[in-house]
Amino acid sequence: MIRKAVIPAAGLGTRFLPATKALPKEMLPIIDTPTIQYVVQEAVDSGIEDILIISGKGKRAMEDHFDRNFELEARLEEKEDERWYNEVRRLADMANIHFVRQKEMNGLGDAIYYARFHTGNEPFAVLLGDTVINSVIPVTQQLIDIYEQYRGTVIAVEEVPHDKVSRYGVVGGRKLSDTLMELSTLVEKPAVDKAPSNLAIAGRYILTPQIYEAIEHTPPGKNKEIQLTDAFLYLLKRENIYSHTIEGKRYDIGNKLDFLKTNVEFALRRKEFAAPFAAFLKEIVRELEAREAGK
């Protein structure tokens, strides 16, 4: 059984400067909800109640977000704003959320290594704090279901266009079903003609305690950071690793363009914004088309 989740959220977010100079990128809101809240919700919706967030310098806002705020609660009570009072209380009670600070930003592999005392001898889920996945069945639940059957490391992947593979970590191996693969290789940002597939690592994993030994044996790689993909290569020589092609759509808010697109798509899905926002977008498209026609 998977009882614990680890959410790495300590990264510097250099691709999102200047916003991330003092604000954790995981707190950037998709409309009105911090990204990390969607991530915690996915873990909770997958039956996980114990969550460890890997935090770091300048990331206190995440702790405050999942804590009580008595002054705000009192004000909302006074205003008889039951909806927001309940929501603010719910955030502090969503799960048992713990924090540990990554002392130096030495990469995702290093961030996960900080979870070793918390997860001990148990398998656990990992959800990247800057990645939201919209799906009917929560993706972490999809991975747990596979873990229960195969008892090995499971990596969520998504299909990406062949010509875009060099932006991602890409997996290759033997197909066990339409969505499941037993891996024989993982490559970080491969050249288009060298990629073993068009399946890109999607920011959700089930890891076994063996990952810690693998991280210990992984020297710093790209950007002098301990790369989780490199640790998987060590692990692959010793045990099976599976990939699951997710049913869902992934949004990486760590880069500005994807963040903008994410906000547009989520706004169109929100009842109170869908109609007026769609009208606004259509107006913009009309203006763009008119401008192009006038050229």
Interface with ligand UTP (CB under 6 A): 8-16, 26, 54, 102, 105-108, 110-111, 128-130, 254
CA 61 distance to own-chain centroid = 18
Q: Which C-beta is closer to ligand UTP: that of 85 or that of 204?
A: 204
Q: Which C-beta is closer to ligand UTP: that of 173 or that of 254?
A: 254
CB of 139 to ligand UTP, least distance (A): 16
CB of 141 to ligand UTP, least distance (A): 20
Q: State the residue number with the nearest CB to ligand UTP.
A: 11
Q: Which C-beta is closer to ligand UTP: that of 21 or that of 68?
A: 21
Q: Which C-beta is closer to ligand UTP: that of 130 or that of 146?
A: 130
**Dist CA 88 CA 294 (whole Å):** 50
Q: Which C-beta is closer to ligand UTP: that of 13 or that of 138?
A: 13
Contact 281, 194 (CB under 8 A): no
Q: Which C-beta is closer to ligand UTP: that of 94 or that of 105?
A: 105
CB of 133 to ligand UTP, least distance (A): 13
